[in-house]
């Protein structure tokens, strides 16, 4: 495999993440769930109404996990591009890498309480307080993702806008999301969660992935200049 192919694969992992994770979540969350602020009895009744996890549930969970690992690869590749643009002594790309890896860890950690509740419920009656604790651990870990994602997007925005290593509109797009995503945390506590910033975050990942894929095939400025200088004069 050539270096160019591997670079395109790393860049394309952003698109793979959105496709795989969205497909998996649609299956896992197809039955809905209690609203934020639901009582322990309502959460216990929700878990009691769920059937035992079947083959499709495990397949869906595998898709989400694999999608998150693809997102990790995308973040590492993106931060490598930013690191080269920053040059020696640059540290914002490292902050972005840390924010991206924390985002993956928080989402993966969110699976444990939710599936623990399902597995316990398969074998015995769960105390409503235990059910509520596991549910809110699952819900809270996913809420933290909006904050950790900010520590990915904000450094990306600064580096892109300053260095123009990627189109500046992509940097401004990231800046808007970096301010908008944390606002979802207090809103979610009161049961009001507008999906606009969550959806725009997925759009940004796809856009960044496409831009990075195209960037792999584009000649570098030095290569382009050398080609122009070496061309025979016309006329």
Q: Is 58 left (phi over 0), alpha (psi -120 to 50) or beta?
A: alpha
Q: Report the mean per-residue pLDDT for the chain.
A: 81
Q: What is the band of 198 on the pLDDT scale with cuts at 50, 70, 90? A: confident
Tens-place pLDDT, residues 130-145: 777 777 777 777 778 8
Confidence (pTM): 0.81
Between CA 167 and CA 58 the distance in angstroms is 39
Residue with tokens 């035992």: 52
pLDDT for 227 equals: 40
Q: What is the DSSP annotation of 147-214? A: HHHHHHHHHHHHHHHHH-SS-HHHHHHHHHHHHHGGGHHHHHHTT---SHHHHHHHHHHHHHHHHHHH
Tens-place pLDDT, residues 63-112: 888 999 999 999 999 999 999 999 888 899 999 999 999 999 988 887 77
- Higher-scoring residue by pLDDT: 6, 113: 6
pLDDT for 37 equals: 64
């Amino acid at each position: 495999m050539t270096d160019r192919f591997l670079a395109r694969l790393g860049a394309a992992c952003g698109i793979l993440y959105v496709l795989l994770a969205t497909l998996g979540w649609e299956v896992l969350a197809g039955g809905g769930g209690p609203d934020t602020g639901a009582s322990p009895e309502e959460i216990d009744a929700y878990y009691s109404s769920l059937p035992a996890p079947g083959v499709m549930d495990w397949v869906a969970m595998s898709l989400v996990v694999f999608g998150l690992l693809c997102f990790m690869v995308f973040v590492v590749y993106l931060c490598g591009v930013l690191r080269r643009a920053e040059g020696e002594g640059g540290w914002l790309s490292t902050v972005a890498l840390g924010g991206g890896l924390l985002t993956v860890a928080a989402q993966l950690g969110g699976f444990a309480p939710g599936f623990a509740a399902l597995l316990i419920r398969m074998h015995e009656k769960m105390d409503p307080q235990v059910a509520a604790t596991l549910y809110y651990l699952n819900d809270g870990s996913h809420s933290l993702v909006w904050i950790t994602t900010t520590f990915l997007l904000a450094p990306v925005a600064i580096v892109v806008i300053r260095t123009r290593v990627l189109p500046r509109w992509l940097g401004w797009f990231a800046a808007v999301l970096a301010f908008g995503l944390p606002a979802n945390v207090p809103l979610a506590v009161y049961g009001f969660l507008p999906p606009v910033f969550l959806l725009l975050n997925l759009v940004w990942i796809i856009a960044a992935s496409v831009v990075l894929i195209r960037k792999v095939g584009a000649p570098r400025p030095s290569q382009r200049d050398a080609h122009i200088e070496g061309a025979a004069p016309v006329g």
